[in-house]
């Protein structure tokens, strides 16, 4: 299994009205709100449960892909850095604590703003290629 999870659960509300306060503004001194952390922690529970269900269904291995930093595109999401950092920490933990033999892949250091399309969220071809290059070394030995 190769997948990721939780991104839209965080980004869609942040785009609309940011009810969980997952965007961090300069005056917050980089502190992520407890409401946003609580949302991400709830997604962790869902993620572990899903990975465990996959394991129970006979899936033996998984590669869980984290998120890269968004940019100020169409949806003005540059201020999501703290949420991405916290979310990736939680996704890695979900992989570690599920019953599925799972490897976490972190794209933050390789996907740059030029690898993201105009909406500020989705990868361009170059971003997708970089993510695939991170996944392949983990996936290939399993095939």
Q: How buried is 140 (Cβ within 10 angstroms: 0-12 exposed, 13-18 middle, 19+ buried)?
A: exposed
**Domain of 80: which CATH number?**
3.40.50.1110
pLDDT (tens digit per residue) in 63-122: 999 999 999 888 888 899 999 999 999 999 999 999 999 999 999 999 999 999 999 999
Query: Can you give the residue range of the structural domain that contains 123?
Result: 2-142
DSSP state of 21: -
- pLDDT, mean of residues 126-143: 96
pLDDT (tens digit per residue) in 15-51: 989 999 999 877 777 789 999 999 999 999 999 999 9
CA–CA distance from 105 to each of 3, 22, 49, 57 (Å)? 10, 22, 19, 23
28: its two tokens: 């917050």
Q: What is the pLDDT of residue 124?
A: 98
108: its two tokens: 């933050």
User: What is the number of structural domains in the chain?
Assistant: 1
Task: Give the residue from 105, 133, 136, 129 showing the smallest Cα distance to 115.
Answer: 129
């Amino acid at each position: 299994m190769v997948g990721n999870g939780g991104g839209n659960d965080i980004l869609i509300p942040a785009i609309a009205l940011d009810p969980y306060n997952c965007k961090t503004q300069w005056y917050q001194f980089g502190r992520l709100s407890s409401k946003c952390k609580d949302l991400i922690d709830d997604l962790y529970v869902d993620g572990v449960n899903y990975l465990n269900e996959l394991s129970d269904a006979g899936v033996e291995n998984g590669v869980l892909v984290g998120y890269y930093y968004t940019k100020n595109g169409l949806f003005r999401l540059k201020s999501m850095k703290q949420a991405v950092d916290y979310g990736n920490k939680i996704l890695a933990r979900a992989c570690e604590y599920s019953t599925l033999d799972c490897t976490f892949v972190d794209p933050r250091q390789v996907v740059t703003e030029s690898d993201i399309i105009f909406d500020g969220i989705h990868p361009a071809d170059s971003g997708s290629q970089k993510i695939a290059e991170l996944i392949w070394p983990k996936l290939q030995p399993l095939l």
